[in-house]
Amino acid sequence: MSKSFGGLKVLDDITFEISKAKAFVLLGRSGTGKSVTLKHIIGLVRPDKGHVFVDGREITQLDARALSDVRKHMGFLFQSAALFDSMTVGDNVAFPLRRHTDLPDKEIRERAKQKLADVGLEREFDKMPAELSGGMKKRAALARAMALDPAILLVDEPSAGLDPITASEIDELLVQRKHSGATIVVVTHNIPSARAIGDELAVLHEGHIIAQGTAGDLDRSDDPLVKTFMRSEAGG
């Protein structure tokens, strides 16, 4: 697929395939179009040219209702967290459950609490998003993205703003989701985390995927940019 904004060509005919129940990690420098790529997968951005298939369905061709049905099986963590700031953290996490399940409210609250506990925020249930730090917002938003245990989980820089210990806990959570059958796409700058989660890694640069394969494959790459990437230890 290809995508431009104004005169700026962000994605220049990129192609990739993501296997079910595997974790696909998208790497690349800031501003190369990783977030834009992720938004294509859930239909928030439409390609100028090309196709996006999810479970065999061409989602750029779907009408609003059908697209909404596909989205019910997806979780999306925004790079900006994008919590609903008029609701408490607990209501944010409960939001997908209230919209898309018939569970009684008590059960919904229980589940939302559990999801927040999974990301270490059980005590933040009644707080407003504005009261959280950047890293906490990110984790709360991840809890919301995982509320319905979606079959496809798209996460944009989950460990940005987190300390290394919390970051590796989040990695662990994502790996667990993968082992219970979810397909995961992660955008990250954090190479240790990419190694820990990713079955397949891809590096996006100037509109193209310049390298793709397992962490081992990328370690053996001759490309200087890929080398620099794979050698870096941490990062946002």
Ligand X SMILES: Nc1ncnc2c1ncn2[C@@H]1O[C@H](COP(=O)(O)OP(=O)(O)O)[C@@H](O)[C@H]1O
- Token representation of residue 124: 């933040």
Question: Can you tell me which of 24, 78, 125, 229 binds other proteins, judged by CB under 8 A?
Answer: 78
Distant-in-sequence, close-in-space partners of 231: CB < 8 Å, separation ≥ 6: 191
* Residue matched to tokens 């990437």: 229
Q: Is 33 in the site for ligand X (CB under 6 A)?
A: yes
Can you tell me the distance from the alpha carbon of 156 to that of 236, in angstroms, rounded to the nearest whole number? 11
Give the interface segment with ligand X, choosing from 28-36, 57-65, 195-203, 207-215 (CB under 6 A).
28-36
CA dist., res. 197 & res. 172, Å (int): 8
Residue 5 or 84 having the CB closest to ligand X: 5
Residue where the block lists tokens 């008590």: 106
Binding of residue 69 to other proteins (CB under 8 A): yes
The residue among 31 and 181 lying less far from ligand X, judged by its C-beta, is: 31
Q: Return d(Cα 193, Cα 189) in angstroms, integer.
A: 9
Stretch that binds other proteins, among 39-47, 167-175, 176-184, 219-227 (CB under 8 A): 39-47
Interface with ligand X includes 160 (CB under 6 A)? no
At closest approach, how far in Å is the CB of 153 from Mg ion? 17
Candidates 13-21, 26-34, 124-132, 211-219 — which segment interacts with ligand X by CB under 6 A? Answer: 26-34
Helix (H) or strand (E) holding 212: strand 208-213
Looking at the DSSP bridge assignments, the partners of residue 92 are none
Binding site for other proteins (CB under 8 A): 39, 42, 44, 64, 68-69, 71-72, 74, 76, 78, 80, 82-86, 95-96, 99-100, 144
